[in-house]
């Protein structure tokens, strides 16, 4: 039964037609059948009348046009999924594909500026061929005829709400996903950012359902719808894991179960599209209810937590949650709306996540600043402790240094000045009672020369060994002559050889102590001193023909073997890095002292 209306002549008025006639046809029908028309109310969902009909339904709308001399606007509110439009027998619109794979122009209204040439005075007839699948809410919405400016404005608003805002929502979501994803790439340990980015990517794939004009890359509408439904499930699973991580909760088994379920749904959607597409409500509806429960639980948790970032995110989730009740009603067909409003809430989530990131960054900076302050205090305390320790160690090192210097001075006095003093005492004891003043002065000069040895080897940093050994050789020879001991010296290769003050003094003192021991203990008549430079080594040999090591049973002999002089010589050899050997001569007479000194310090 057709509905006839008279369009008033006032151009500003618009007629909204909400009744029409409908008839079924198969996929190949190019024109409507003559019989079988039924009166329907618009918006008409044919799944309630023909629950098993996949194919084409023709809708016929008629109205009375009193003035056909002016253009008229024509607005079709909703056509799902694809359509062809005829006015008074003339085609005015046709989607690319009216059979599988069906074009997808269901998400936008259709507006036409009808020229007077297509209009008739009196009755006008509009035929709309709608191609759809019963599983995906095939329908035809209301028709509006009238003022082109008014209907054009209405069309722009509806197109903005249904399509442009969806594009804006997808763009905002992708930008937010990219930004949060970069945070996760820079800080992989903060896994909540990675889960949010992944959920946002799945959400944007689901948004493509409101933008795509064809089911590409799938070959059927079933394949497209199965994939979109699986993407929705994946988005819900990853969003739930994000909320868990954001709440600082770890439920590994629950998370694995969610991911496994989402993975199974995705695999089945790709492998069995003709089953998973038409039956999508069997798993999409529980997923929607699950999201409501998860979101409500998080909101309650956030309110009780007292944390500002939790509460702000909960508020940002609550707004889309409330709006989604409207979208759920549209999806389930509970009322006649056709526009989804969830895309209008995308700026809210953008602001919310921006605040959460800024808040957490500010909190992190506060913790870093607090840590820096604490670290600075700890460093200052440690620096003070270290300074005290270093001061104590420095004082201890100074004490050791002073003790070492005193010990070195004792050894130098023993080996040098002491030896000279012993020699002087011996000479005085052996001299007649009427010792001349000249002899005493000579002895004091020897003692002075020995003291000068210490001073010279310390002060003359650039003196070579040949220069330093000459005074010692002179004094030692005079000392030995006083005991009737002939001294024979062989010195080779010492010109230009510099050992440095410390090593030179140690070497001279060791040689002086060796000769003093010969003078005091050997009862020898001859001593040979060999000092030779061979390559990068210096060899010293002192050999006397005295009683030897085996013949020293006296107290003096014991002193020679284990007294301060022997210890001093071994200490100096160790400090020089040299090898010291003291052995008896093979015939049992005499003692040999050998020193092998590397010239490298």
Residues 419 and 568 in one domain: yes
Listed as own residue / partner, the contacts of 316-325 with beta carbons closer than 8 Å and 24 or more positions apart are 316/348, 316/349, 316/351, 316/352, 316/353, 317/349, 317/352, 319/345, 319/348, 320/345, 320/348, 320/349, 321/292, 321/295, 321/296
The number of domains in the chain is 3
Residues 301 and 265 in one domain: yes
Kindly report the three-state secondary structure assignment for every residue of 291-336: HHHHHHHHHHHHHHHCCHHHHHHHHHHHHHHHHHHHHHHHHHCCCC
- Kindly state whether residue 366 falls inside one of the protein's structural domains: no
Q: What per-residue confidence (pLDDT) applies to 128?
A: 97
Residues 191 and 214 in one domain: yes
121-147 per-position pLDDT tens digit: 999 999 999 999 999 989 999 999 999
- Kindly state whether residue 576 falls inside one of the protein's structural domains: yes
* Better-scored residue on pLDDT, 371 or 170: 170
Q: Taking residues 60-75, report their average pLDDT.
A: 93
Rounded to whole angstroms, the Cα distance separating 373 from 290 reads 46
Residues 53 and 133 in one domain: yes
Of the residues 314, 340, 366, the one at which a domain ends: 340
Residues 232 and 183 in one domain: yes
Asked if pLDDT for residue 377 goes beyond 90, the answer is no
447-483 per-position pLDDT tens digit: 666 666 666 555 555 677 888 888 888 888 888 887 8
Of the residues 97, 118, 146, the one at which a domain ends: 146
Asked if pLDDT for residue 271 goes beyond 60, the answer is yes
Residue 36, domain CATH = 2.60.120.260
C-alpha pair distances (Å), 525 with each of 477, 485, 547, 585: 13, 4, 10, 15
Residues 166 and 87 in one domain: no
Residues 560 and 536 in one domain: yes
Q: What per-residue confidence (pLDDT) applies to 357?
A: 73
Q: What per-residue confidence (pLDDT) applies to 319?
A: 83
Q: What per-residue confidence (pLDDT) applies to 560?
A: 43
How many C-beta neighbours within 10 Å does residue 469 have? 21
Residues 188 and 297 in one domain: yes
Residues 411 and 487 in one domain: yes
* pTM given for the model: 0.61
Residues 185 and 292 in one domain: yes
Domain span at residue 116 reads 6-146
Of the residues 146, 171, 204, the one at which a domain ends: 146
* Better-scored residue on pLDDT, 54 or 388: 54
Q: Taking residues 227-254, report their average pLDDT.
A: 93
Residues 187 and 234 in one domain: yes
Q: What per-residue confidence (pLDDT) applies to 32?
A: 93
545-572 per-position pLDDT tens digit: 888 776 554 444 444 445 667 888 888 8
Residue 466, domain CATH = 3.30.565.10
Q: Taking residues 54-62, report their average pLDDT.
A: 96
Rounded to whole angstroms, the Cα distance separating 102 from 219 reads 9
Q: What per-residue confidence (pLDDT) applies to 454?
A: 63
* Better-scored residue on pLDDT, 90 or 369: 90
17-40 per-position pLDDT tens digit: 999 999 999 998 889 999 999 999
Residues 296 and 234 in one domain: yes
Per-residue burial over 180-196, b if 16 or more Cβ lie within 10 Å, else e, is bbebbeeeeeeebbbbb
Q: What per-residue confidence (pLDDT) applies to 237?
A: 96
Burial grade of 433 (CB within 10 A; 0-12, 13-18, 19 or more): exposed
Q: What per-residue confidence (pLDDT) applies to 269?
A: 96
- Kindly state whether residue 386 falls inside one of the protein's structural domains: no
- Kindly state whether residue 389 falls inside one of the protein's structural domains: no
Q: What per-residue confidence (pLDDT) applies to 568?
A: 83
Q: What per-residue confidence (pLDDT) applies to 553?
A: 44
């Amino acid at each position: 039964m057709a509905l006839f209306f008279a369009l008033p002549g006032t151009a500003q008025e618009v007629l909204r037609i909400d009744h029409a006639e409908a008839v079924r046809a198969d996929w190949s029908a190019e024109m409507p059948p003559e019989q079988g028309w039924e009166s329907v109310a618009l918006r008409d969902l044919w799944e309630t009348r023909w629950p098993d009909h996949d194919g084409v339904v023709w809708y016929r709308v008629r109205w009375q046009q009193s003035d056909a001399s002016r253009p008229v606007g024509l607005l079709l509110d909703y056509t799902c999924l694809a359509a062809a439009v005829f006015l008074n027998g003339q085609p005015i619109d046709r989607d690319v594909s009216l059979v599988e794979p069906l074009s997808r122009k269901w998400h936008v209204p259709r507006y036409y500026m009808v020229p007077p040439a297509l209009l008739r005075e009196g009755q006008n007839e509009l035929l709309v061929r709608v191609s759809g699948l019963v599983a995906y809410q095939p329908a035809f919405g209301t028709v509006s005829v009238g003022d082109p400016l008014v209907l054009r404005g209405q069309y722009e608003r509806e197109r903005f709400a249904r399509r442009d805002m969806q594009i804006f929502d997808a763009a905002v979501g992708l930008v937010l996903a990219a930004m949060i994803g970069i945070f996760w790439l820079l800080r992989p340990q903060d896994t909540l950012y990675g889960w949010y980015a992944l959920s946002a990517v799945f959400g944007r794939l689901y948004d493509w359902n409101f933008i795509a004009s064809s089911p590409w890359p799938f070959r059927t509408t079933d394949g497209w719808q199965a994939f979109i439904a699986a993407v929705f499930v994946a988005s819900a699973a990853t969003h739930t894991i994000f909320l868990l991580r954001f709440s600082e909760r770890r439920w590994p088994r629950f998370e694995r179960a969610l991911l496994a379920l989402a993975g199974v749904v995705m695999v089945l959607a790709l492998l069995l599209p003709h089953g998973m597409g038409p039956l999508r409500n069997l798993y999409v509806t529980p997923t929607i209810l699950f999201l409501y429960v998860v979101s409500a639980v998080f909101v309650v948790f956030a309110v009780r937590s007292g944390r500002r970032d939790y509460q702000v995110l909960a508020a940002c989730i609550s707004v889309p949650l409330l709006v989604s009740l409207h979208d759920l009603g549209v999806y389930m067909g509970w009322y006649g709306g056709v526009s989804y409003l969830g895309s209008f809430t995308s700026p809210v989530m953008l602001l919310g996540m921006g605040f959460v990131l800024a808040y957490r960054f500010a909190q992190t900076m506060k913790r870093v600043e607090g840590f820096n302050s604490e670290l600075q205090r700890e460093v200052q305390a440690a620096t003070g402790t270290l300074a005290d320790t270093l001061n104590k160690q420095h004082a201890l090192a100074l004490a050791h240094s002073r003790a070492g210097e005193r010990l070195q001075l004792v050894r130098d006095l023993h080996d040098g000045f002491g030896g000279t003093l012993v020699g002087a005492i011996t000479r005085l004891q052996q001299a007649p009672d009427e010792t001349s003043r000249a002899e005493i002065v000579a002895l004091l000069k020897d003692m002075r020369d020995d003291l000068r040895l210490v001073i010279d080897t310390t002060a003359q940093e650039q003196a070579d060994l040949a220069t330093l050994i000459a005074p010692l050789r002179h004094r030692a020879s005079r000392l030995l002559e006083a005991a009737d001991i002939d001294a024979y010296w062989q010195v080779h290769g010492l010109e230009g050889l510099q050992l440095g003050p410390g090593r030179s003094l140690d070497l001279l003192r060791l040689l002086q102590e060796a000769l003093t021991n010969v003078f005091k203990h050997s009862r020898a008549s001859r001593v040979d001193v060999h000092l030779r430079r061979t390559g990068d080594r210096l060899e010293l040999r002192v050999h006397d023909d005295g009683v030897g090591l085996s013949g020293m049973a006296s107290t003096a002999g014991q002193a020679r073997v284990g007294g301060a002089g022997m210890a001093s010589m071994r200490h100096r050899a160790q400090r020089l890095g040299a090898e010291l050997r003291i052995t008896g001569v093979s015939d049992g007479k005499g003692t040999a002292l050998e020193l092998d000194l590397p010239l490298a310090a």
